[in-house]
Structure 1
Amino acid sequence: MRRTKYSNEFKVQVVKEALETRNKAAVARRYELASNMLHRWIKEYESGKWGVISVEGISPLETKKLSQENDHLKRLLGEKDLEIAILRDLVKKKNPHLLTKLK
């Protein structure tokens, strides 16, 4: 049986579809690929091995890292907002006259 050589453009198209749909098995079946091959392509794509750069000029690996950092910062911001709300409630209960100074 002959090995099929796939172009990088085809690989990127398949990988993006798999990542968008989050159903690697279905995408692999649609393109008649082995699921382990698609998994390997995804790893290579995310590591930047193909030299693919997104529209923003950032590699997929860097995009993933930035997304994780963004999620972490959003979580921290939510915690700080909650702390501020709790402290304002405490001030309101203990010293209502100070509340006007805090706003």
Structure 2
Amino acid sequence: MQRRKHSEEFKKQLVQEAMETGNKALVARRHQLSPNLIHKWMKAFQEDNDFSIEEAVSSSEVKQLEEENDRLKKLLGEKDLEIAILRDVLKKKNPHLLKRLK
């Protein structure tokens, strides 16, 4: 089997993909490489501090994720309030069901 040489950019791309998915074997299989090779590249990049997960996520993506997180927190709070209101209404109309709700 002939050895292949891979560019630094290709290695960084695969390391980033493996970090994002958290699955080295899947990335390796997709590119027909050994999972050990991906692991070796990840280790090399981490030791050299040439690559970090922060580089993979841009500031605009972080801002977008924070906005989505805030929106989802608000939605969850609204749902919790709605559930509490519905339980109160149910208690008032059907006190015998109070035991089942707890």
TM-score bracket relative to the smaller structure: 0.3 to 0.5
Give TM-score scaled by structure 1 length: 0.46
Give TM-score scaled by structure 2 length: 0.46
Larger helix share, 1 or 2: 2
1 or 2 for the larger relative contact order (CA 8 Å, sep ≥6)? 2
